[in-house]
Amino acid sequence: MKTTIKTTLMTLASVATASPVLAASTQRSDSSGILVWAFLGFCALIVVAQLVPALMLMLGIVKGVTSSKDQQASNKA
């Protein structure tokens, strides 16, 4: 019984001392300058500028598909 307790305590002690090794580091190595962030912002601006016409096109398609044919016929006449 003593050896079981001793073995269990030794195992817990070794796990407790090894747990800080598994912890993640809180230090960040972020050496990005202002030009990097400006470039990423410019890329984000391009993506957003491309999304606006795409969304308008999709809304136009949905509106065209859901409108009734009678309404389209009256608009042509």
pLDDT digits (tens, 9 = 90+) for 1-36: 778 888 887 887 776 676 666 666 666 667 778 999
Q: Is 6 contained in some domain?
A: no
Q: Is 9 contained in some domain?
A: no
CA distance 76 to 60: 18
What pLDDT was estimated at residue 33?
86
CA distance 60 to 41: 29
Total domains in the fold of the chain: 1
Q: Is 30 contained in some domain?
A: no
CA distance 12 to 36: 47
Query: Domain range spanning residue 58?
Result: 41-66
More confident residue, 12 or 58: 58
Tokens of 31: 């050496």
What pLDDT was estimated at residue 9?
79
Q: Is 58 contained in some domain?
A: yes
Tokens of 64: 């065209």
